[in-house]
Structure 1
Amino acid sequence: MERTAAEAAAGGKGAWRDGAVTYLHLLFYIAISGGQIFFNKWVLSSKEINFPYPVALTLLHMVFSSVVCFAITKIFKIVKIEEGMTTDIYISSVIPIGAMFAMTLWLGNSAYLYISVAFAQMLKAIMPVAVFLLGAAFGLEEMSCKMLAIMSVISVGVIVASVGEITISWVGVVYQMGGVVAEALRLIFIEIFLKKKGVRLNLISMMYYVSPCSALCLFIPWLFLEKPKMDESASWNFPPFTLFLNCLCTFILNMSVFLVISRTSALTARVTGVVRDWSVVLLSAAIFADTQLTFINIIGYAIAIAGVVAYNNHKLKPKPQGNEQQSADSKANPGSPQDVETSISTKEAS
């Protein structure tokens, strides 16, 4: 009897410890994800650095990611690149994913030059609507009254939040919405890649293939749009340590997303992302002078987030058939399609 009680106590301590570690993972993800958003905003708009070149910044992130992934997989061989990638699949799937990823990061970072971090996060809430509509156009989503109602709630919330914005820049709005559409297309291409091509990749493998492609796609607009400005301007100053730290934080963010999903679930990661978004909106009002939240802002964003939560619950609700087997496969293989799709979809514009 005493042994049984001791085992129960040990099991309780183990469960408490395991739960504490999980919450630490979630808190770390919220901190590093929100911190990276503020870091990018500071780099792009601060007078101390004065580096208003979003394409160049994003290009550096992708080059850094490519180098690190190459070192991890080919030099130190910590992670093995999974097989199944062919030239045809790379051309038809990876290149479109990489191109849309480059567009997402480019346009999303460019928006920070014109609108506040808080308003940018509010506009990002429209993402499920773009994903759903484009998914329906590609035959990946089915129209239903419930989904249309959820999309309407999100849209109304974003519109109300936009009406409440005091100083709105339509250039920034266009950049942000362009980034949202590019991100939605990227997610559609990823879903086609996973479902129709049948290739399963963990996050490192996916980044190994996508990062160089995104870097190449970013190099072309940088060469023609930003390099001439950088050559003419002598006022910007980007310290090497700040550059390295910014790139490193972006890479750590990707790893934290993968760890959260591997330890919990895709739904937990998305709900945690909602908490992160609220934290970013509220903190940005205290940190940045260009952020002035109004009551209408908050009401509109609350409506949009309610719709996003409803979308997540509906989208990630387990299917009745084969649910137990799917759950077991997901735990046994953290690099399953659901994990890869979610880990990539929750990655912030770096």
Structure 2
Amino acid sequence: MALDPEEGKQEEIIPLTSMKDGEVAEPLPSASLPPPVSAAPKPKPKITTAVIVPIWMAFSVSVILYNNHLYHTLDFKFPVFLVTWHLTFAAIGTRVLQRTTNLLDGTKDISMNKDIFLKSILPIALLFSGSLILSNSAYLYLSVSYIQMLKAFNAVAVLLISWASRIAEPNRKLGLIVCMISFGVALTSGGELKFNALGFVIQAFAVVFEASRLVMIEILLHGMKMDPLVSLHYFAPVCALVNLIILPFTEGLAPFYQLARIGPLILFSNAFVAFFLNVAAVFLVGVGSGLILTLAGVLKDILLITASVALFGALVSPLQVFGYSIALAGLVMFKTIGK
């Protein structure tokens, strides 16, 4: 308990014999306690766009190339297990960050209850789980470069589902952009030298699941402010549980028999890179404008395609380069002037 400095102060007694006639005794200076010092809140770290964009791109590229390395170079072809492991790591990691940092302060503004969980979080988590499993499974059949080209169609799928859900109104300008992106993606598929029908179908369903998830977020979580890390905090545990239920019917115990061969270093480093991609995304969204985010995504995809050719020997035809250029131009238009 703090004491008042004026309490308990003894009155100073000055001997009368030491004073001259008519002299007024001046009070002795009293020693007062210094004012209490309040601890100033620690300022949040400020990261410039020039710093966070390369960091985010490095993590994003690393996650995809690392997963592809696991599937093909290390022959660990278990995407359901890998996604489940990533989500379990993320569920634990977000809770550690919630208790040790201010990165998940956004959870304080969300009043989570059973009704919101069952009607909003659960259906979105199911779509998220399906999207992750399908998109990772596609890497077993298609090259990294071709998958990145197909992902340009994500924006078209989101727009078409938004129109069907009546949360957006069709217009001629957006229709032309949709046609432009679709035409570019069609050319990239026509120029694919190692086309795999099963892989194409899996990636197509992954696009549908991901687009449906984004539209469902817009409908069910409208008004809730969730950055990538807060979203992961709520969705990761549910998705991990769903995947654990699916795992016995898809890959069974086979991935567990391979863990000793892969080793804990690879497993933990792979999950670490995937998790901190979401951390980097929080800072990226906080400092980047819509145009910067779009251009960063485009540059990241180009780097991935280049790395796929250089590291894994993926073949890219001139027709694919031409078609993807058209799709990217349409994507930039959609993100910047198409709204």
CA 314–84 in structure 1, closer or farther in 2 if over 3 Å, else same: farther
**Deviations for 1:88-145, whole angstroms, at most 9, x for unmatched residues?**
1111111111111111110111010101000000111111110001011111111111
**Could you say which residue in structure 2 is the equivalent of 1:223?**
248
Q: Which residue of 2 is the match for residue 324 of structure 1?
A: none
* Counterpart AA for 1:170: A
1:279 aligns with 2:279: no
1:81-120, aligned counterparts within 5 Å?
A: 81-82=107-108, 83-120=110-147
Give the distance between the partners of 1:253 and 1:91, measured in 2 at CA.
28
CA contact 1:261–1:268 (8 Å) conserved in 2: no
Matched residue count: 291
Corresponding residue to 1:242 among 266, 271, 280: 266
Is it true that 1:68 corresponds to 2:93 in the alignment? Answer: yes
Whole-angstrom CA distance in 2 between matches of 1:64 and 1:293 = 35
Does structure 2 conserve the Cα–Cα contact (< 8 Å) formed by 1:153 and 1:303?
Answer: yes
Q: Does the 8 Å CA contact 2:290/2:336 hold for their aligned counterparts?
A: no
Shift of 1:287: 0.8
RMSD of aligned residue pairs (Cα, Å) = 1.9
Query: 2:326 maps to which residue?
Result: 303
Match of 2:198 in 1: 171
1:262 aligns with 2:286: yes
Q: Within 2, Cα distance between the matches of 1:258 and 1:278?
A: 22
Once the two structures are superposed, the pairs formed by residues 1-350 of structure 1 within 5 Å of their partners are 21-46=48-73, 49-73=74-98, 75-76=99-100, 78=102, 79-80=104-105, 81-82=107-108, 83-195=110-222, 198-230=223-255, 237-289=261-313, 291-315=314-338
**Which stretches in structure 2 are left out of the alignment for 5+ residues?**
1-45
- Answer with 208-217 or 20-29: which moved more: 20-29
- The equivalent of 2:39 in structure 1 is none
Aligned to 1:328: none
Q: Identity of paired residues, percent?
A: 31
How far is 1:236 from its partner?
Answer: 7.9
Structure 1 segments unaligned to the other structure (5+ residues)? 1-17, 317-350
Work out the CA distance in 1 between the residues paired with 2:117 and 2:259.
Answer: 41
Q: In the TM superposition, what is the alpha-carbon distance from 1:21 to its structure 2 partner? A: 3.6
1:270 is displaced (CA, Å) by 2.2
Deviation at 1:42, TM superposition (A): 0.5
TM-score (structure 1 length as normaliser): 0.79
1:49-88, Cα deviation, whole Å (9 max, x unpaired): 2210000000000000001112222x43644422322211
CA contact (8 A) 2:177 2:338 kept: no
The residue that corresponds to 1:337 in the other structure is none
Runs of 4+ in 1 over 4 A off after TM superposition: 233-236
Q: Give the Å deviation of 1:284.
A: 0.9
C-alpha separation between the residues in 2 aligned to 1:165 and 1:203?
33
Residue type of the partner of 2:320?
Answer: N
TM-aligned CA distance change 1:315 to 1:215, over 3 Å = farther
**Rg: which structure is higher?**
2
Contact 1:193 1:199 in 2 (8 A): no
**Using the alignment, how far apart are the partners of 2:141 and 2:184 within structure 1?**
21
| CA apart distance, 1:235 | 9.6
The answer to whether the 8 A contact 2:173-2:338 is kept is no
Bigger helix share: 1
Q: Cα 1:200–1:234, aligned 2, differ >3 Å: closer, same or farther?
A: closer
Q: CA separation in 2, counterparts of 1:277 and 1:234?
A: 31
- Counterpart residue identity of residue 263, structure 2: P
